[in-house]
Every structure is written in structure tokens, then in C-alpha cells.
Amino acid sequence: MNWIVNNTDQIGQLLVAHLGLAFLPVILSFVISIPIGWLANRFRLSRGVILTICGLLYAIPSLPLLIVLPIFTGQGIRTSTNLIVGLTIYGIALMVRSTADGLASVDPDIKQSATAMGYSGTSQFWRVELPLAGPVLLAGIRVVSVSTVSLTTVGAVLGIQSLGLLFTDGLQRGIQAEVWTGIVLTIVVALVFDLVIVQIGRLLMPWTRVTKASRRVRKTIATEEVTA
């Protein structure tokens, strides 16, 4: 406890750095995954190819990815950009599947009705399919957010400022309190991100508050949460 009191400044700095690093990848992966997820859902062939690539990307362990990435990006290993790009890649790898699953969960009858009412392809996507896929997207981005916040700490091994530095520093100096502080704060940040995302989801999708959401969508979300 003493350690925390004596080091609040440093903890605060690392916390802010951590928020800054984790925030961007979550947003980026959500936005980038929409067109890719659409493409994955649109054609049978592209679905297989894209989802396989995403599966493989997600299979690459985080530390090795951060070391291999500079070859492609030209950024230094120890830069924030390197970490942000790496985390975004993981985010996309997870989120594309959710986006594709979400779009696939929209009832075909509803799509037919939308077409019958005169929606063009584009406006049908933005105004009918995407909002109805919303709950599945929400479930997906929650998973992305939690894993991004926790993965951000790995950057500390390379010397990138984040809460993970409390782990590396704590190990070197043998201070357990420091490491526990890092673990607890990381989980708290993950929870806060999660709460914010859920709130945004409630605001954007007021209809989901009425818990008569289609069973089909709910089931997709449930399997998504267990298998993701």
C-alpha cells in the first residue's frame, strides 16, 4: 500500500499513457472491420478467404507480431505506432468475424421487406442491416476492447509506456504491490471501457432495451461470447 501512495504520480502517468494506447485500436478496428465484414458476408468465397486470414492473423502471438511488424511498417519496435498498429490488427482479426456474423444474423425476410419498400443497396446496408446487426457488433467490440486493454501491457516488454511497465519494473525490483497495482488497474480500465461501450450501445440502439430482441440475434451473441 505504501508503494502505491509513494508512486501515485508515476501510476497516473502510466494510466493515461495506457488509455491513449488502447483507445485508438478499438475505434480503428471497429471502423475498418465494417467494409471487410460486409465483403466477408457478401460472397461465399470471400467469406472463407477473409475469415481464414483473420483466424491466422489472430493466431500470431502478440510479442512476435510486435517484433515482426517493423519490417512492414518501417516504424521502430519501441514506438507507440508499432503497438497501435499491432493491436489494431488483432482487433480487426476479431471484429471482422463479428461483423460478418452480425450481418448474417439479419433476417432475410427483413431484407426482402426493405427492398420491397424501395431501399437501395447502400441505404439498406446503413439503415437496415447495420443497425440490426448492432447487438452482435456490440458483443464483438466488447471482446476487442477487453483484449486490447490487456494486450497493451505486453508493449512494456519492449519499453513502451503503459500499465505493463508496472509489471516489468515490479519484477526487476521485486515489488509485488507494484505488479498487483498494474493487474488491478488494467482490469479496471477494461471494465470502464466496457461500461462506456455498453452505454454507447444503449444510446445508439434504444430498441434493444426492450428485451424482445429476436432470439436468433441473441443466440448468435451467446455463441459469440463463448467461442470468441
Partner 1 sequence: MNLFADGLAWIFDPAHYGGQDGLDTRSLQHIGISLLVLAISSVIAIPLGYAIGHTGRGRAAVIAISGGVRALPTLGLLVVIGLIVGIGLTAPVIALVVLAVPSILAGAYSGFESVDRRTIDAARAVGMTEWQILFKVEVPLGLPLLIGGLRSASLQVIATATLADYVGAGGLGHFIFLGLKTNDYSQMLAGSVFVVLLALLSELIFGLLQRLVVPAGVTAGKSSHVRRRPVRSQAASG
Phi, psi at 42, each rounded to 5°: -70, -50
By CB under 8 A, is residue 59 in contact with partner 1? yes
Q: Is 62 in the site for partner 1 (CB under 8 A)?
A: yes
Based on CB atoms, which residue is closest to partner 1, 59 or 210? 59
- Shorter beta-carbon distance to partner 1: residue 84 or 93: 93
103, with CB counted inside 10 A (0-12, 13-18, 19+), is buried
Residues between 203 and 222 with contacts to partner 1, criterion CB under 8 A: 215-216, 219-220
Sign, CA dihedral 73-75-76-81, equals: negative
Kindly tell me which of 10 and 123 has the beta carbon lying closer to partner 1.
Answer: 10
Looking at 24, 40, 138, 190, which residue binds partner 1 (CB under 8 A)?
Answer: 190
Q: Which residues contact 183 (CB under 8 A, 6 or more apart)?
A: 167
Between residue 104 and residue 163, which ones bind partner 1 under the rule CB under 8 A? 143, 146-147, 149-151, 153-154, 156-158, 163
Total site size for partner 1, rule CB under 8 A: 50
Q: Whole-number minimum distance, CB 29 to partner 1, in Å?
A: 15
179, 167 Cβ separation under 8 angstroms: yes
Q: What is the DSSP letter of 210?
A: S
How many C-alpha atoms does 76 have within 13 Å on its Cβ side?
Answer: 6
Q: Quick check: 63 binds partner 1 (CB under 8 A)?
A: yes
DSSP 112-146: HHHHHTT--HHHHIIIIIHHHHHHHHHHHHHHHHH
**Among 46, 180, 205, 213, which residue sits at the site for partner 1 (rule: CB under 8 A)?**
180
Helix (H) or strand (E) holding 149: helix 130-151
- Of positions 46, 75, 79, 168, contacts partner 1 by CB under 8 A: 168
Binding site for partner 1 (CB under 8 A): 55-56, 59-65, 67-68, 70-71, 77, 143, 146-147, 149-151, 153-154, 156-158, 163-164, 166-168, 170-171, 174, 176, 179-180, 182-183, 186-187, 190-191, 215-216, 219-220, 223, 225-227
